[in-house]
A and B are shown apart, each in its own frame.
Chain A
Amino acid sequence: MTLLSVRDLNVTFDVPRKGAMPWTAPDRLRAVKDMSFDLAAGETLGVVGESGSGKSTLARAIVGTIPATSGVVSWEGTDLTALSPGERRRHRADVQMVFQDPLAALNPRMTVGDIIAEPLRTHRDVSRTDARNAAQAMMERVGLLPNLVNRFPHEFSGGQCQRIGIARALILEPRLLICDEPVSALDVSVQAQVVNLLRRLSREMGLAMIFIAHDLSVVRHVSDRIMVMYLGRQMEVGPARAVVGDPLHPYTQALVASVPVPDPTARRRDRQAVRGELPSPLTPPSGCVFHTRCPRARPDCADAVPPALRPQPERIVACPYHGPAEATAAE
């Protein structure tokens, strides 16, 4: 059953030109362009792309903290972008978000108990004590000691702060959790714990998740499906195993190749995902936006935007010259 369905979503920012007069038209930064995908109940979609590729913007447009410029975000058939702010607010209990910087996402002046209980007190008519008890129960569930309710965020470590953020996001028992790089700011030793916690909770609560990360190493363990983004465009979508095991798009292949391999006998991989710099999103390359860095680029790649092809069922690749990774290596 489709829970969330995104169709032709565009998010454009107006960026004032540097040093220009106030009346000149601002530059238009297309942070998310023509994005379409579906998400089933209980499914986890991993979203991967270099930083600056519009992953956070996509998450914000779905949650509704920034407006979509055009397109449809529909939740069980209701178009959320068309709702009034009041109607939209009622839907917010269903979709919650976990943020990248765990400490910055917590109000430094509130106790942990109040932070976790805030969504509950916003959407449900509960007493202070009930809210506090619910917060304590939730703390226990995410692996925090419930007797720490009266503490303040700055008294916790990064990993613990992220658990607080997760507790806050889950206290309303939402149906979709959007995790925007939930472990990028954490120590490597803590990352696995937080990822496992998210995996366990999503299974227990039947949550659908959109799990955002800038490399594949984390995403491939949690996702059912993976979507690869580059400069706000969708490059490839498909089942996690297929995308990681048999990447078709040259950009995905570069991402897969850059994942560190634990096997010491395997030959050293280049840590940088793709050669060259990420082009400015203000002046994206013509045609296929990836052609400036693509190992398989052909002259006509700069001419037309490549159509979304479906080479296999369930898979979408935005590259007419896609193919197995070996082909790239041979070139």
Chain B
Amino acid sequence: MSIRQATKAFLSPAANPFPDGVTVPVKGRSLWMDARTRFLRNKAATGSLLVLVLLAAFAFLGDTISPWDNETIDWGMLGQVHVVGGPSLETGHWFGVDETGRDLFARTAQGTRISLAVGFVGAAVAVVIGTIYGAVSGYVGGRVDDVMMRIVDVLIAVPYMFVLILMMVVFERSVIMLFVGVGLISWLDMARIVRGQTLSLKNREFVEAAIATGVRSPMIIARHIVPNLLGIVVVYATLLVPQMILFESFVSFLGLGVQEPLTSLGALIAQGAGQMRNDVPWMLGFPLAAFVALLFALFFVGDGLRDALDPKDR
């Protein structure tokens, strides 16, 4: 850099707060970084994130650390589960066994895994389909918007629980079916939320600037609309995960969700609840504790994300 340039840079009213780094590009602080700082300052949210990580570790590594797997029946327990089947370190059944003598620690890990999977599949479908659908509908506007949103209205009006139960009865009751069902309904609200946000983003001056420059519509959606929507999408998606988990648990509780030998937290809770009178409280207690911890952690994380990404402070 020449002396003249350096002098100009120094005298410029845009003078850099770090004049010694004139030639090295300075790293900027994106809004995402600011949001991360704010999130990490929120104790409840970071604590819940830790709980969530531990639960995920439990779900995916639980099988490997437990001496028992989730299918083997401990024949020695059968018939006297309520006497010797409780949680104990000696038998290696840390959470006890279920009524057929299977290790409840491994079963709870498996159930948590399925519940998490259902939640995240639902959220992923919502994020991908809901965001694109809502952004296109809102940005294009006019007739297209009318038609696209009426379709969503119609789908929302369908009693999906009823349809899902019918689907479960007609087709094979499989996890895939459950994923399909969850995926079908989860994106609808997301599409509406994203459309509303897009409508307000569309009138912002930076979008007008892009249109005036001649940027094509798909590029405007990808570069200017969607990145500015991601905050609300992330928040809504994290709050959608527990909703989907609750939904799956309800279906499984009715006995229509995942089928043996697979299980989910909802199915385990249903079984535990059925054994209440047999003096085996651990069968309900452990799955329920995992379930409650999971939901609370997800809600707190979602809340923390909402505070951190709050679009109001921009």
Could you tell me which A residues sit within 8 Å of B by CB distance?
Answer: 60, 63-65, 89-90, 92-93, 96-97, 99-101, 104-112, 118-119, 122-123, 140, 143-145, 147-152, 154-156, 159-160, 163, 165, 168, 190, 193
Contact = CB atoms under 8 A, between A and B. Distances in A.
24 contacts: A60-B208, A64-B212, A89-B214, A90-B214, A92-B213, A97-B209, A99-B208, A104-B206, A107-B206, A107-B228, A108-B228, A123-B214, A145-B14, A147-B16, A147-B22, A148-B25, A152-B28, A152-B30, A154-B31, A154-B314, A155-B28, A159-B13, A159-B14, A163-B14
Given A107-B210, A147-B26, 17 more contacts: A92-B212, A93-B214, A97-B212, A106-B206, A107-B228, A108-B206, A109-B31, A112-B28, A119-B214, A145-B15, A148-B26, A149-B25, A150-B25, A150-B26, A151-B28, A152-B31, A154-B314
A119 B219 CA distance: 12
Interface in B1-39: 5, 8-9, 12-16, 21-31
A65 B211 CA distance: 7
B77 to A, nearest CB: 58
B205 interface: yes
Interface of B: 5, 8-9, 12-16, 21-31, 204-206, 208-216, 219, 223-224, 227-228, 314
Contacts of A111: 28, 30
A239 B206 CA distance: 33
Contact of B29 (A96, A147, A152): A152
Nearest to B34: A154
A179 B29 CA distance: 29
Contact of B214 (A60, A99, A122, A156): A122
Given A105-B206, A118-B215, A147 B14 contact: no
Nearest to B21: A147
A275 B215 CA distance: 44
B31 A145 contact: no
Contacts of B215: 118, 122
B206 A144 contact: no
B228 A150 contact: no
4 nearest interchain CB pairs? A92-B214, A151-B28, A109-B227, A105-B205
B212 A145 contact: no
A279 B164 CA distance: 59
A118 B224 CA distance: 11
A160 B14 contact: yes
Given A145-B9, A150-B26, A163-B14, A65 B214 contact: no
Q: Which of A93, A148, A165 has the most CB of B within 10 A?
A: A148
A168 B27 contact: no
Contacts of B13: 143, 159, 190, 193
Nearest to B228: A109
Contacts of B211: 65
A190 B12 CA distance: 12
B128 to A, nearest CB: 19
Q: Which of B12, B206, B208 has the most CB of A within 10 A?
A: B206
A150 B27 contact: yes
Contact of A147 (B12, B23, B214, B219): B23
Contacts of A63: 212
Nearest to A156: B14
Nearest to A180: B205
Contacts of B5: 140
